[in-house]
Amino acid sequence: MIRVQREDFDIGAEIRALTEGRTEIGGVASFVGLVRDFVDDGGAEGSTAIRGMTLEHYPGMTEKMLSRIEQEANRRWPLDASLIIHRYGALAPGDNIVLVVCAAAHREDALQACSFLIDWLKTKAPFWKSEDTGDGGRWVKAKDSDDALAARWEDR
Amino acid sequence: MKLVYFAWVRTRIGHAEEDVALPDGVATVADLLNWLAGRGGGYAEALARRDLVRVAVNQEFAGPDTAIGDGDEVALFPPVTGGGAMEGSA
């Protein structure tokens, strides 16, 4: 199941709803992405404080890509249930951005599928972050390290 | 053709979407980007670093050789940056 929404989500409630009555499930892995209050600038410059961020997305393509990524996870691992929730709009430090949950009979399938989903959605789902550093917004650059994390799943 | 722009491609061009009539000879994504850049101003600025612009045709990622036509929706945007704080150090 995938959801793209402006509203916050309740992690406990989402996991309960996913696993309720599903006694074949032996393990649940989750990842929660949060808004940090700083960005690394690298090198001696240290970090810059951020006041919040705005997430823009491509309605329609976002849902299509998230569904496809979720289907791919279910093709690779025997999952009993999976969930991706991604927020958009204005967010403050500490706010939830994204939730990925994978449930399986065995923990290794759940953990690997969860790791795969977050790596792939970072490079394949059409979201863009603009950070507010106090002197206007600045668009976040994509990181080569994210491409490398996603690429390690390519030949599977 | 419907063109849609996101993130800094949108802010540089100055609007989120527009309908355009393709001139003769514009048959691929690469042709379209060249033609748009030739409009100058914000278009030239947004397309100055072609390697930083990603393209989707009818909501599917596309390459420079992807064919396009009048009924298509073509989106131009920077590399995506969704997800949570899982990045390595910059």
- Assess contact for A141 and A130: CB atoms under 8 A: no
Q: Is A129 on the interface with B (CB under 8 A)?
A: yes
Under DSSP, is residue A144 helix (H, G, I), strand (E, B) or coil? helix
Nearest chain B CA: its distance from A15 CA (Å)? 18
Q: Is residue A43 scored above 70 in pLDDT?
A: no
What's the pLDDT score for residue B87? 43
pLDDT at residue A140 tops 80:
yes
| Per-residue pLDDT reduced to its tens digit, A73-87 | 999 999 999 999 999
A104 pLDDT band (50/70/90 cuts)?
Answer: very high
**Mean pLDDT, rounded, of chain A:** 92
Query: What one-letter code names the amino acid at A13?
Result: A
Mean per-residue pLDDT, A58-71: 97
Q: Which residues 44-63 of A are in CB contact (within 8 Å) with B?
A: 55-58, 60-61
Determine whether A144 is exposed, middle or buried from the number of CB atoms within 10 Å of its CB (0-12, 13-18, 19+).
exposed
Residues of chain B with pLDDT under 70: 84-90
Mean local confidence (pLDDT), A130-144:
85
Identify the CA nearest to A98 among candidates A76, A75, A120. Answer: A120
Burial of A65 (0-12, 13-18, 19+ CB in 10 A): buried
Q: Could you say which DSSP state residue B28 is in?
A: B
**Contact status, residue B68 vs residue B79, Cβ threshold 8 Å:** no
ipTM of the complex: 0.90
Average pLDDT estimate for A93-103: 97
A8-12, A100-104, A147-151, B75-79 — which is least confidently predicted? A147-151
- Please indicate whether, in this complex, the C-beta atoms of A118 and B59 are within 8 angstroms of each other: no
Query: How large is the C-alpha radius of gyration of chain A?
Result: 16
Q: Which token pair is A102? A: 């994978």
Integer angstrom CA distances of residue A24 from A21, A71, A103, A153: 9, 20, 10, 27
Best to test chain A binding among B13, B73, B80 (most A CBs inside 10 Å): B80
**How far is the C-alpha of A38 from the C-alpha of B18, rounded, in Å?**
36
Instruction: Give the residue on B whose Cα is nearest the Cα of A88.
Output: B82
**pLDDT of res. B90:** 29
CA angle B63, B67, B69 (to 5 degrees): 130
Q: Chain A partners of B88 at a C-beta cutoff of 8 Å?
A: 143, 145
Cα angle A15, A61, B29; round to 5 = 150
B82 touches chain A (CB under 8 A): yes
Residue pair B31/B2 in contact (Cβ under 8 Å)? The answer is no
Q: Can you state the percent helix, strand and coil of chain B, rounding each to 5? A: 30, 25, 50
